[in-house]
Structure 1
Amino acid sequence: MLHLYWGNGKGKTTAAMGLALRALGHGRRVVIVQFLKDGTSGEIAPLRAAGAAVYACPNAKFTWLMDEADKAAAREASARALGQALAEPFDLLVLDEACAALKSGILDEALLRRAVAFAKNGREVVLTGRDPAPWLQDAADYSTEMRVHRHPYADGVAAREGVEY
């Protein structure tokens, strides 16, 4: 099954990682790829300790601040990480921020389609991010849109360690 957690609201990664933790608790093999993140967010160490294989595709800049050399390096890191992840045995594959990585040209569409195809072979594949491509929305078995109704950031409140990052 293909799960899609998308939208501009908080909770996309949290939902995906919660599902990963649940799967680990039932003895399932979990592989996680975090695009556009450095792999140091608070949930990663406990998920690794619980048995998840985690790959990160770090970049030092927001995508809109990247030049072509930065984007090329990010594309290479993303392809390498996803390729390694797909070589692992898994029951659940989480592709965190895959929608943003695809939209920004950091993630190769053909490689993402290859990953998504595992959802039709009895495995669970989860994608998160804003603005999923129409083909992802069409392919999703589960599609949950996270929408902002109210957020402290609008009032100038910064993200809090352990809650938002």
Structure 2
Amino acid sequence: MSQLESLWKSTTGLPVIGKVAGKKIFSVAFSQKAPYFGSIRPTVTELRPNHAEVLIRNRRRVRNHIGTVHAIALCNGLEMAMGALAEVTIPADKRWIPKGMEVTYTAKASSDITCYAETTQEQWESADGDLPVKVWATRDDGTTVIEGVINLWVTPKKR
């Protein structure tokens, strides 16, 4: 079990303390690993091998000039979901780094947004170089607002 998965299991098992739940505690801690994630104030809502979900609340700090969630905030949420997924999924003898992102904006991001990342275990087991991670995000009504792929470079760890 990775350190991140261990942190997820220990924090999400905590009782609710006032308005702060274990998922929010985990999300703040994870945002410290890559501080730019903190700019969107995300909440990781689901995390398990091959699947991650990150919630971005529609608030002023993430909006663009037309009042919708900004494209870069969406990309940050997708990258956070992908990074969390990668950390809890990758086999112990491999390492990863993001190589690129290709996305298409498909609808206005006019509500809270949930960002998703998914892979299969077979992708990780056979990975030797490129590994595409499917990413997308939806509005509260289920409409997809952005979709794409984040390509990872996966290699064996040096011994």
Q: What is the TM-score normalised by the length of structure 1?
A: 0.29
Q: What is the TM-score normalised by the length of structure 2?
A: 0.29
Greater relative CO, 1 or 2 (CA 8 Å, sep 6+): 1
